[in-house]
A and B are shown apart, each in its own frame.
Chain A
Amino acid sequence: MKKIIIVALIMFSGFIAQCQIATVNSDIVSTNLKSLDGKTINSSTFNNDGKPFIIDFWATWCKPCVAELNAIAENYSDWKTETGVKVIAISIDDSRTMASVAPFVAGKNWDYEVYLDPNSDFRRAMNVNNVPHTFLFDGKGKIVSQHNTYAPGDEEQLYEEIKKLTGK
């Protein structure tokens, strides 16, 4: 019985898929996230007006994640002026520490776009094993490079790649 339902659903989905306006070919899997002001945001809307952007998976309790975001924050305003790059920070803090994310980010003076992924739905959809995991996307939402773990100096390598992408 369950299999019949699955088949029926998939056939039906095929029908719907054909009626849909196709989305832009991007490496970002569509998942709902929460913004810090309580709004529901779909990850498929992530973009930077054709300029490259970074998606960084992190958590308030993850020391290397915070070290990486601190290191980027030191030069973030220069990065933005020179290349127009944007950082989107996805917190995988669950309901234990989720409410800490907004005060944590404010207290650190971080200027990133921050979204909450409290049950790791987006982390799973993007096949991220563990945090920190940093993706660099080109203006079309294609993954250009990625790294997990953080070592001081990674941010400078990342910036070289951003400059290469923007021809700066």
Chain B
Amino acid sequence: MRLLLKNILPLLLIVFVFNSFIKVSAQQPTSSSNFSGNFEINAQTYTSDSAIEAPNVSEKILSNGYLNLNYSYNNFAAGIRYEAYQNPLLGFDAGYKGSGIAYRFASFTNDNLTITAGNFYEQFGNGLILRTYEQKALGIDNALDGLRVVYAPIKGVTIKGFIGEQKVYFVKGSGLVRGIDGDFQLNDFIPGWDLKKLKIALGGSFVSKYEKDNIASRILPENVGATAGRIGLIYNKFSFDAEVAYKINDPSFDNKYIYKPGEAIYLNGTYSKKGLGIKITSKWIDNMSFRSERGASLNNLAINYLPAISKQYTYRLSTLYPYATQASGEAGFSGEVYYTLKPNSKLGGHYGTTISINASSVRDIGRTPPSNDTLGYESKIYSIGNDVFYQDFSLEVTKKITKTWKLIATYIYQVYDKNKIEGKTDFQQVTAHIGVIDLTKKITTNKSLRFEIQHLQTEQDKKNWAMALLEFTIAPHWSISTFDEWNYGNEDSHKQFHFYNFGLSYSKNSTTLGCSYARQRGGLLCVGGVCRQVYASNGFNINVTSRF
């Protein structure tokens, strides 16, 4: 409550006064005001289930809830988010415990200037040296709290500058973050270039964090600067993007307090024409963890974002071994092809067939002993080490078989270094083969049945898994589903568990109400190469989302 009074009431008062002031004085017949928001609550009951190692929850019921309110009047905008974790769902940090205004901002825009005061999310380039964002499923919200100015003096030029502290749960980290970024779309402002086939974009950014030297036994840099440059080229059907970043020495908990600088390179090339798309990616990062508190860990107070380059799978069994970016260093390559076989062709069939193929490989970087112990190790740019962290290959075929039957068939091959990725020590590298058949039968115009059969084969870890799913939907409101994941291959016959789920959901306009009963396996939940530990659980879940 104190937080509420301190942070939000003055702001709301200002908005109210400002609003009445505008209404009286401006009286513009076509002025634009907009009030909107959204709401989400996720509540779960927990039943003891020691067999699957579901932790005992003394509260029995836990919930996470959010309410966003946004208001805009012509060029003025303001918003707040109220969050309540009573208490936080299992797997979310205890730091979230409680409730309050976790996010609030006010901003105004004129033709070429936007000023934001309060909380904001920002990303420079690919995020290699700056990305603040929220990802509720992962419990990530590293919003900055301060001031930001975005200035676009002419078409094609955008300059951004900000200063602020970072949010962690309901409080702020002790570091200060400052940054500036310039983005230049050359074809927009160089006379005569607007019709050129070659489009060129350039960008550069600088981010610095300040944190007092708080460890008596070391001499630590209080200001740590990072810089990045990027180029984007588009020519006809081809595109090429490159971003490189450099960070000065930044001893931290993550890098075991070594004084080595950090480097990152991220390259993407694509080819796109009707019916065919190709992407090739390469990434090389070395010691690029960048947080506004040097002692922070987990997903807390990250200033930058290091995207994973492996494919983001979503079928249940294909999420057993998800890759998480290794900020301490990794070298990776990946390629993707999307292709449509034409309708009424021999291979494409009557309705055509879409094929997507992907392959990726991520290894350690090449490391050599340091000339000076405080560096930890040395590495050459684009050096590749011997340790394989992750590899995958996948083939997915999407086909409409008849007017009412649709099929998605998927094969995935994965190599997964469980020790490295999950921070463990006594596991073997996992090699897995996964097959998925996903069939949809349209019964009437609004009723459908969907089946999924999945199988995962591996000689390591918990051995083989099988899964089956059945889902019945009545558009536009109802969905009822059930699935079972079965670890039938587990060597310990007492651990050949069934993890089952029964779900019902009702959706109307922008509101969705879902409830389910699940015995859920633990593991890693990953989005964008950033992961959170999910604990095994047994109980009912209620989820409500709404937008207004």
Partners in one complex: yes
Could you tell me which A residues sit within 8 Å of B by CB distance?
A: 2-3, 5-7, 9-14, 16-18, 20, 22-27, 29-30, 36-40, 61-63, 67, 70, 74, 94-97, 99-100, 102-109, 118-121, 124-130, 133, 145-149, 151-154, 156-157
In the bound complex, residues from chain B placing their C-beta under 8 Å from that of A14 are: 18, 21-22, 76
Q: Judge whether A61 and B312 touch: CB under 8 Å.
A: yes
Contacts of A99 in B (CB 8 A): 239, 241, 268, 270, 279, 281
- From B36, B121, B234, B276, contact of A106 by CB (8 A): B276
**Distance between Cα atoms of A145 and B134 in the complex (Å):** 27
Are B115 and A9 closer than 8 Å at their CB atoms? yes
Is there contact, CB below 8 Å, between B507 and A97?
Answer: no
Give the contacting residue for A39; candidates B108, B185, B442; CB below 8 A.
B185
Encoded as 1 (CB less than 8 Å from any A CB) or 0, chain B from 113 to 128 comes to: 0010110011101110
Of the candidate stretches B45-53, B65-73, B417-425, the one touching chain A is B65-73
Contacts of A22 in B (CB 8 A): 28-32, 74
A52 smallest CB distance to B (angstroms): 17
Q: Are B475 and A152 in contact (CB under 8 A)?
A: yes
Cross-interface CB contact of B272 among A27, A102, A156, cutoff 8 Å: A102
Complex alpha-carbon distance, A157 and B396, angstroms: 29
Least Cβ distance of B24 to chain A in Å?
11
Q: Is A157 within 8 A of B76, CB to CB?
A: no
Inter-chain contact total with CB atoms closer than 8 Å: 246
- Within the complex, the shortest CB–CB distance from A38 to chain B, in Å, comes to 5
Q: Report A-chain residues with C-beta under 8 Å of the C-beta of B122.
A: 119
Interface pairs (13), CB distance under 8 Å: A6-B118, A7-B14, A18-B25, A22-B31, A94-B127, A94-B528, A103-B271, A106-B276, A108-B354, A154-B476, A156-B445, A156-B446, A157-B446
- Beta-carbon nearest neighbor of B308 in chain A: A96
Asked if A25 and B476 sit within 8 Å, CB to CB, the answer is: no
Cβ-based interface call for B309 (8 A): yes
B255 in the interface, Cβ–Cβ < 8 Å? no
The answer to whether A107 touches B185 (Cβ under 8 A) is no
- Which residues of B are found within 8 Å of A23, using beta-carbon distances? 30, 32, 74
Known: A5-B147, A129-B40. A119 touches B121 (CB 8 A): yes
Residue B344 at the chain A interface, CB threshold 8 Å: no
The 9 residue pairs across chains A and B that have the minimum distance between CB atoms: A107-B338, A103-B277, A13-B108, A153-B475, A96-B307, A106-B272, A151-B473, A107-B277, A153-B446
- Provided the pairs A5-B147, A17-B22, A63-B314 are in contact, do residues A154 and B239 lie with their beta carbons within 8 angstroms? no
CB distance from B123 to the nearest CB of A (A): 4
The residues of B that contact A63 with a CB separation of less than 8 Å are 314, 408
